[in-house]
Copies of this chain bind each other. A is one copy, B any other.
């Protein structure tokens, strides 16, 4: 055997481009703070503290089969049936099982949708700030996000049709939006949705609409992309059980489309990965029996938090933000040069009586360089009392940091 000098191959360009999540990248600093005995208020991640409903938990605890088998690649048929009934009951939308693919979380619904409508080298129009993980999914799929900037001063609502049109080119295959929006809390109006639809029709684009926060609305009305006329074959809705049922760790989501070619492509991708978690699909199916009452009660709780958070932030010198209309996130502009520095400092060098706050730096929610540098995303996933305390700490932190 000849001797060969070992040459270690590099990881791929794709792997190098894969971004670290700005929501999670400061986790090591938070872990270190906790090891020092510091209590950390987690406002960085959309992990609600709302109790997972007993309807869901009961199924888990009563699970009683000899073998934990793969599920069907398309998803559990009872669950799919519950999903179509939910869409009829809550949205008045008629769907059949042909329109639904169960996914491993809303994350997989996004990946499948992106892959179903793009090939490597294609582009997707997004509105920044946007849900940061769109960046990661785009890198995996080998596609480029073409970001259209929206502004806090305008409540992060959409710019004019002309402005959006400038970002559409021959490689554009889809427009990807999220409503109610993560990270801004903006709920797009019917008029905005129709403007987007018009562009999709004009340029023959798919509209990928990420709607996991549909039930969390405090101002205005949720307008699902499924309501759009003459868009049946172009709309793909991404949905999730995570927030609706406070079951983020279940990893159950949904891809919904009347374009059965898209759903069929998602099914074939689903066959490659075999199935979504079996037990949780049964549990989510049971949770879908929860009615409007449950959703309204949860939304009421989030509205209280939003009101408190918005009021407290408005009182802080140099802080500005818009009142979120839905979801449970808010983008705030802080009187700091680099919000990531500030977030790191909060975890590493600051505490008030052994407590501090963790937020997600804003830049990671933009694709354009140098945007969002003074912004943070705050997830109001803690009860009003804790949230109030977290705001005390943030106010003190801003005061102290500005003197540095």
Contact = CB atoms under 8 A, between A and B. Distances in A.
B47 A70 contact: yes
Contacts of A273: 104-105, 107-108, 111, 133, 136
Interface in A267-297: 268-269, 271-280
A298 interface: no
Nearest to A71: B249
Given A52-B68, A117-B11, A21 B272 contact: yes
Contacts of A21: 73, 268, 271-272
Nearest to A280: B277
Q: How many copies does the complex hold?
A: 2
A250 interface: yes
A251 B251 contact: yes
A115 interface: yes
Contacts of A249: 68-71, 275, 277-279
A204 B8 contact: yes
Interface stretch (A59-67, A145-153, A181-189): A59-67
A129 to B, nearest CB: 17
A198 interface: yes
Interface residues of A, number: 95
A386 interface: no
A321 interface: no
A384 interface: no
Interface of A: 1, 4, 6-9, 11-16, 18-21, 23-25, 27, 45, 47-52, 56-57, 60-64, 66-73, 104-105, 107-108, 111, 115-122, 133, 135-137, 140-142, 173, 198, 201-202, 204-206, 230, 233-234, 242, 246-251, 259, 261-262, 265, 268-269, 271-280
By Cβ-Cβ distance, the 6 closest A-B pairs, closest first, are: A136-B272, A249-B278, A120-B120, A21-B271, A15-B265, A107-B273
Given A6-B230, A61-B62, 12 more contacts: A15-B261, A15-B265, A16-B265, A18-B269, A21-B272, A23-B271, A49-B67, A52-B68, A57-B63, A61-B64, A108-B273, A136-B269
